[in-house]
Structure 1
Amino acid sequence: MSGHHDHGPSGEHAEQAATEMFEPPAWDERYAGQGRYWSGEPNPQLVAAAGDLAPGTALDVGCGEGGDVVWLAGQGWRVTGADFSAEGLARAADHVEQAGVADRVEWWRVDARTFDAGDRSYDLVTSHYLHAPDGGMVEVTGRLAEAVAPGGLLLVVGHAPSHEFTHLSESHRKAMFLAAELLPGLPEDFEPLVVEQRTRTLKRDTGPVEAEDSVLLARRAKS
């Protein structure tokens, strides 16, 4: 699994290293380093989808350092931040404390590939730049959908395949997806509201480049 904000460093990845990036230890090591790994700013597609919503309960899966959790809590949501990296969750908790919104946030260490909502449900379930290998995001989408309360929203955002990512390994590129490719993962009681690619500007050492976000927004029927 990889990804949250795409403001991290880029470079050549050996295939073995790339495979490891889908597992918790690599992310624990990454988050244990000095300084923020991601920008700390909320993801733009989340702001676009949830900016005008009445706050309720939200689940952010693959929350990383908590940029989206902080933003949602600041908007008045009660947020559960979920990630498979203990180091990421620890860092996210620090950022939530610094933002003064810890009273509206709880944490859940879970791997999205084996995620089971159980009896938990949320008005908004969101995941940004979480990529499961070998097309696994279709199944992950289905798992996330089960956590959406009746009448609630599911927002899944990821990297669309792009020439901007040719430096990445094959396994990373195969983990990318188009929004429409996730539709088979939606249960029958979901109505797709947005199924599209949206252009986004990425910050690179060599200057800004444009890439595409795949955006799936769907609403669960109220009954």
Structure 2
Amino acid sequence: MARAFWDQRFSGDEFLFGSEPNEYVVETCSDLEPTEALDLGCGEGRNAVWLAAQGHRVTAVDVSPVGLAKAAQLAAAREVAVDWVCVNLGEYEPAPQSFGLVVLSYIHVDPALRVPLHVKAARSLLAGGRLVVVGHHVRNVEEGIGGPQNPDILLTEEQMQADFEGLSIIRNETVEREVPGASVTALDLVFVATA
């Protein structure tokens, strides 16, 4: 079901969320030395391609072959290499302690999938590795704009702290994001931690 949904969303000629990286991914990853990086739920590849352009050796995972085909085109246009993996995130098993950076950008899934996915993400970090999670905050439903309208799949600071217990939290906060043409801002959560 997820594959068909995202294949349809990514089937347009344009990039659904644009071809430039998420501003918070750039903000939280620009200072890193090149490392093995994992982008979970990479969609059309905007963050993975940017990370590769920064010198990271990127593995990018998504359920949608349509999204990954567009991601590969973007990587080719920007002349970077990314290892694209087409699999459902619930089935993907990253090797433990193998990545210096793990990014999850706007991955909104049922808690029954979110918690094990977060455990796998944390487990895949090398010692000292960085985890970055960016997503819509639960408050966005009532106070913001855009994104899923199901509060059960949106993020809170408390969830992030519980899901990533054992990591050293650097940042766990709600941020306002400008949305072109909107009179209100979107409310996102930015979480950064190290192993």
TM normalised by structure 2 equals 0.89
Task: Confirm or deny that 1:147 pairs with 2:135.
Answer: no
Return the letter of the residue paired with 1:150: A
Relative CO higher for 1 or 2, CA cutoff 8 Å, sep ≥ 6? 1
Mapping 1:3-152, distance limit 5 Å: 23-102=2-81, 105-119=82-96, 121-134=98-111, 136-152=113-129
Instruction: Provide the rounded CA distance (Å) in 2 between the counterparts of 1:167 and 1:118.
Output: 31
Does the C-alpha gap of structure 1 residues 181 and 135 become closer, same or farther in structure 2, counting only changes over 3 Å?
Answer: farther
Deviates more, 1:87-96 or 1:113-122: 113-122
Paired residue secondary structure (1:90): helix
Unaligned runs of 5+ in 1: 1-19
Deviations 1:196-218 (A, max 9, x none): 111111234xx353012111111
Q: Describe the SS at the equivalent of 1:181.
A: helix
User: What letter is aligned with 1:113?
Assistant: G
How far has the Cα of 1:107 moved from its partner?
Answer: 1.0
Q: By how many angstroms is 1:156 displaced?
A: 1.0
1:13 aligned partner: none
Give yes or no for contact 1:64–1:92 (8 Å, CA) kept in 2.
yes
Structure 1 vs Structure 2 CA RMSD: 2.1
Q: TM-score, normalised by structure 1?
A: 0.78
Residues paired across the two proteins, number = 192
1:70 positional shift: 1.4
Structure 2 residue matching 1:209: 3-state secondary structure? coil
How far off is 1:33 after superposition?
A: 2.5
User: Percent same amino acid at aligned positions?
Assistant: 32
1:124-203 correspondence runs (5 A)? 124-134=101-111, 136-161=113-138, 162=140, 163=142, 164-165=144-145, 169=149, 172-186=150-164, 188=166, 190-203=167-180
Q: Say if 1:168 and 1:48 are closer, same or farther in 2 by CA, change over 3 A.
A: closer
Other structure's SS at 2:6 match: helix
Structure 2: distance between partners of 1:35 and 1:175:
26
Q: Does 1:218 align with 2:187?
A: no
Distance in structure 2 (CA, Å) of the matches to 1:67 and 1:41: 6
Give the AA of the match of 2:99.
Y
Q: Aligned in 2, Cα 1:160/1:167: closer, same or farther, shift over 3 Å?
A: closer
Q: 2-side partners of 1:81 and 1:167: how far apart?
A: 22
In structure 2, the gaps of 5 or more residues are: none
